[in-house]
Amino acid sequence: MRLNALIVEDEYLAREELTYLVEKHSIINIVAAFDDGLDAFKFLQSNKVDIVFLDINVPSIDGMLLARNIAQFSHKPQIVFTTAYKEYAVDAFELEAVDYLLKPLNEQRIIGLLAKLQVRAQEKKPPQIATNTRSQSINLMLNNHIHVTAIHDICCAIAHEKVTHVYTTEGCFVAPMTISELMLRLPVSDFFRCHRSYCININNVKEIIPWVNSTYMIKMDHVDQQIPVSRSNLKAFRSLMQL
């Protein structure tokens, strides 16, 4: 079962390192990352995720206050606190955090945590919930017209600043949302984020081409452009496509 996660971390290098380690050692999908607690809270009010990696010392709303607000949600994601200070550990577990990561991050420690998160999620809800609750169509834009498009007609999507170009069996349209927001609308059983800026419908993969640095380029049905697979997503992609 693929899980969606959010990272809240105000240090750029720490945010990038955690993203890399999560994507390297799991098939957890990082749907968004914020350096500000208030921005993360606004995102969570309209987007559901399974896991929140939460730094305690972030601007606007600190991690402890944000966790207390998250605890009031009907859909409660698993929370993992990250911090450089051991003294917050007791408070973190009182908020029913799954775990507590000390900086600098330890790769082996994270590997064990990721396995625990996936087991807990498996016990919490059956895999089909992630797809059955989603709509079977999505509204896309072209020339100021709204096109109601069946989800299964989407071939791939490419991030383009604050919108996303969506390639379907009927052509290219625009989704007025980021690619991370779009991924939340798509069934995880069919769609895979192969790169930070690209996601694909695995049912529309036509050809997988070995590329530089042991990566791949993907040819899709109904799409002229080739889609790259990032190094951080290689493990999950190979597993998904049985390579």
182-228 per-position pLDDT tens digit: 888 888 888 999 998 999 999 999 999 998 888 899 999 989 999 99
78 with 187, same domain: the answer is no
101 with 51, same domain: the answer is yes
113 with 177, same domain: the answer is no
Count of the separate structural domains present in the chain: 2
96 with 154, same domain: the answer is no
> How many Cα atoms sit within 13 Å of 152 on the Cβ side?
3
107 with 138, same domain: the answer is no
C-alpha dist (Å) from residue 211 to 158, 217, 228, 230, 236: 19, 6, 9, 11, 17
Quote the pLDDT of residue 127. 38
Instruction: From 3, 109, 15, 106, select the one nearest 53 (Cα to Cα).
Output: 15
45 with 107, same domain: the answer is yes
19 with 44, same domain: the answer is yes
- CATH (domain of 30): 3.40.50.2300
- What DSSP designation does 71 have? T
12 with 82, same domain: the answer is yes
- Domain end point (choices 65, 99, 125): 125
175 with 71, same domain: the answer is no
Residue 36 — pLDDT band, cuts 50, 70, 90?
Answer: very high
Instruction: Give the largest CA-CA distance in the chain.
Output: 56
Quote the pLDDT of residue 128. 39
Query: Residue range 90-100: average pLDDT?
Result: 68
Lowest average pLDDT, out of 3-7, 36-40, 127-131, goes to 127-131
112 with 149, same domain: the answer is no
140 with 194, same domain: the answer is yes
- CATH (domain of 237): 2.40.50.1020
Quote the pLDDT of residue 135. 63
- pTM of the predicted protein model: 0.51
105 with 193, same domain: the answer is no
- Domain end point (choices 106, 125, 144): 125
Task: Tell me which residue range forms the domain holding 75.
Answer: 4-125
Alpha helices in the chain (DSSP H): 12-25, 37-46, 63-70, 89-94, 107-124, 129-132, 179-183, 234-241
- Of the two residues 92 and 17, the one the predictor is more confident about is 17
- Domain end point (choices 125, 160, 176): 125
